[in-house]
Chain A
């Protein structure tokens, strides 16, 4: 990280989260730069998802500050953080199961819509006009993730890989400028993962910054500009994918002390 830093979009400073006696994240500091793909990796329980939850307002941090484009996120509710352009997906597949695929994206378009309760009750023409525009936008987003053929189907009827695409479509509907993806390809087969990597490139081309939590190393090394490795709630290494792959600390965290010694 010695090159002149471009402007930091998301600045995490001294983030600490405790669950009772367990410190899940300990004084973690990092920043996400505009337009990059930054990955958080680390063994299970390293604090990746906890960091995600703290950034997006789902759990209150015990210490530290999080700021996005100069606005403090700590203390804000998740919906306010989403309004600022920071939108996440969830580790456990999370869509609106009982709704059609198209309706899922329409629900995600909440922030894109400007109807007031009064206008809705009076059924003003602007409402119908906007509804039409929203439906078109939803179809466009489904096309973007290549789910348009499934629009009319119930979300619960989708196969696993497509559900994960739908999650991304819902998140994109909220018009993020920073997208946080929590293990988006877990459970996908290699072909699905490969096409998801292409999707990430497409999202990136829209100018959306991406913060990624992922276990699939082929994916992490393939799409990331920078990688941060966590272990026991602390940052143990950060750098470009190739630097991370050679870092002894990272190898120790993943493969254990003995392996490092054996390698000599």
Chain B
């Protein structure tokens, strides 16, 4: 039953470019997909380990810039007499480099969190994102600063001169994003249902108790941040080679906020949460636009819906739906369970 629903869902998603003729809508879907990948990566950190990273867009932007620069090639003077030059490399290599660099920065942030938790962790991540943004803005020789990196090559896969797929057009990019999203989803699912994921949940729920049964808190956080950052980096790389222009605005705080909204409204700490939240709050602006109301009304409606979701479904949409489904089918486990008790304990 569950498997059938999954297959039906995937079949539907795969079929979209076949019947959707409006390329603009397809573009919106691709961007939403990229953000869903980023939101899923944030969920691993925020939902499972309970650490709020408000600089998550830094990993996204690092992936975008690194991948672009590796595939464009660059030449910078680190010291007056020392020039570093990199010839253009294939795009897939750039994407891997982007993931690797984002993951490495995630490692550093994870190590830091050994000392700083809670509010301090939030501040560290915000500062990290801001520093990276300032570097991207001011290191003109490398990043072109506000002039942006242009003409970023698109991804090609296959054997040259024999068989090759180019990810230039929208349907191809749609499938690429879908494939990466599915892979990320599966990876996160495996991770959280294993020993590593249980350690993360233990840490979120009760850190002293987790340590008392042998959970290495630092290691567990580092693993989560590395995987999370690398996935956000992958989303950034997908973005760069799809939009094919990257400027320092990819580091804007609003993108982090968007990811947090997707995770929190969808249901943090659930696998489907960021996907559902991402679909709703990624597509909502476009849906509202189609009603031909003024832009201010659109955004007020967007904000109001968000407040309503958070107010009435504090756990998120997915847990709320799950609870409703359980009550309907009469499973006693949660029906008897008073909600406030579980929350107060948290």
- Which residues of A does B touch, CB under 8 Å? 56, 58, 77-79, 82-83, 87-90, 94-99, 103, 106-111, 113, 115, 117, 120-121, 123, 127, 131, 152-154, 156-157, 170-171, 173-174
Provide 7 A-B residue pairs closer than 8 Å at the C-beta atoms, listed in order of the A residue. A90-B208, A94-B206, A97-B205, A117-B196, A121-B190, A154-B334, A171-B213
Known contacts A96-B206, A120-B191; decide if A154 and B337 are in contact (CB<8 Å): yes
Q: How many contacts between A and B, using CB within 8 angstroms? A: 110
| Residues in A neighbouring B39, C-beta threshold 8 A | none
Please classify how large the interface on chain B is, using the bins under 10, 10 to 19, 20 to 34, 35 or more: 20 to 34
Residue contact A115 to B196, C-beta cutoff 8 Å: yes
In the bound complex, do residue B337 and residue A156 qualify as a contact, i.e. CB atoms below 8 Å apart? yes
Smallest Cβ-Cβ distance to A108: which chain B residue:
B213
Known: A152-B333, A154-B342. A107 touches B190 (CB 8 A): no
**Per a CB cutoff under 8 Å, which of B187, B202, B206 touches A110?**
B202
Q: Which residue of A lies closest to B340 (CB)?
A: A156
Contact check, B194 vs A127: say whether CB atoms are below 8 A apart. Answer: yes
A56 touches B212 (CB 8 A): yes
Contact between chains at A97 and B345 (CB < 8 Å): yes
User: Shortest Cβ distance from A103 into chain B, in angstroms?
Assistant: 8
Minimal Cβ-Cβ distance residue in B for A82: B214
Query: Is residue B346 within 8 Å, beta carbon to beta carbon, of the partner chain?
Result: yes
Chain A positions within 8 Å of B190 at CB level:
120-121, 123
Contacting pair B198 A110 (CB below 8 A):
yes
Whether, in the assembled complex, B217 has its beta carbon less than 8 Å from a beta carbon of chain A, the answer is yes
Within 8 A of A (CB), among B176-215: 187, 190-191, 193-196, 198-199, 201-202, 205-206, 208-215
Say yes or no: A58-B208 contact (C-beta < 8 A), given A98-B346, A154-B333. Answer: yes
Distance of A77 Cα from B216 Cα, bound (Å): 9
Asked if B223 lies at the interface with its beta carbon under 8 angstroms from chain A, I say: yes
Which of chain B's residues have a CB closer than 8 A to the CB of A153? 333, 337
Distance from A160 Cβ to chain B, minimum over Cβ atoms (Å):
12
State whether B201 touches A110 (Cβ < 8 A): no
4 new A-B pairs (CB below 8 Å) besides A120-B196, A156-B345? A96-B205, A110-B195, A173-B213, A174-B214
List of 10 A-B pairs having minimum Cβ-Cβ separation, nearest first: A97-B345, A82-B214, A78-B211, A111-B214, A174-B213, A96-B205, A120-B194, A113-B195, A107-B202, A156-B342
Per the bound structure, the CA–CA distance linking A202 and B211 in Å amounts to 25
With a cutoff of 8 Å between Cβ atoms, the chain B residues found around residue A83 in the complex are 214
User: B336 at interface (Cβ–Cβ under 8 A)?
Assistant: yes
Task: Give me the interface of B with A, judged by CB distance under 8 Å.
Answer: 187, 190-191, 193-196, 198-199, 201-202, 205-206, 208-217, 223, 333-334, 336-338, 341-342, 345-346
CB closest residue in chain A, given B219:
A79
Contact B187 A121 (CB under 8 A): yes
In the assembly, what is the distance between CA of A239 and CA of B297, in Å? 78
Q: Point out which of B191, B195, B202, B223 has the most chain A C-beta atoms below 10 A from its C-beta.
A: B195
- In-complex Cβ contact of B212 among A99, A156, A171 (8 A): A171
Asked if A87 meets B212 with Cβ closer than 8 Å, knowing A79-B217, A98-B345, A121-B187, the reply is yes
Residues A98 and B342 in contact, CB atoms below 8 Å apart: yes
A113, closest chain B residue (CB): B195
Name which residue of chain B comes closest to A115, CB basis.
B195
Q: A110-B195, A156-B341, A156-B345 known; A98 and B213 CB under 8 Å?
A: no
Q: Which residues on the B side are within 8 Å of A88 (C-beta)?
A: 212
Instruction: Chain A residues near B336: list those with CB within 8 A.
Output: 157
* Assembled-state Cα–Cα distance A88/B210 (Å): 11
Chain A residue nearest in CB terms to B192: A120
Once bound together, how far apart are the Cα atoms of A15 and B213, in whole Å?
A: 24
Nearest opposing residue in chain B for A58, CB measure? B208
Complex contact B211–A82 (CB within 8 A): yes
* Other-chain residue from B201, B223, B333 in contact with A117 (beta carbon distance below 8 A): B223
Q: Which residues does chain A contribute within 8 Å of B187, judged by CB atoms? A: 121
Identify A95's interface contact among B195, B209, B211, CB under 8 A. Answer: B209
- Which of B213, B223, B334, B338 interacts with A111 by CB under 8 Å? B213
Contact A120 B213 (CB under 8 A): no
Contact A99–B214 (Cβ < 8 Å) = no
Residues of B within 8 A of A77 (CB): 211, 216
Q: A96-B206, A99-B205, A152-B333 known; A79 and B216 CB under 8 Å? A: yes
- Shortest Cβ gap from A211 to chain B (Å): 14
- Cross-chain contact of B194 among A58, A131, A157 (Cβ < 8 A): A131
Closest to B211 in A: A78
A172's nearest neighbour on chain B, judged by CB, is: B213
B213 contacts which of A99, A103, A123, A170 (Cβ < 8 Å)? Answer: A170
Residues of A contacting B201 in the complex (Cβ-Cβ under 8 angstroms)? 96, 99, 107
**Minimum CB distance partner of A130 in chain B:** B195
Contacts of B214 in A (CB 8 A): 79, 82-83, 87, 110-111, 174
Q: Are B341 and A110 in contact (CB under 8 A)?
A: no
User: Which residues from B are CB-within-8-Å of A107?
Assistant: 198-199, 201-202, 205, 210, 213
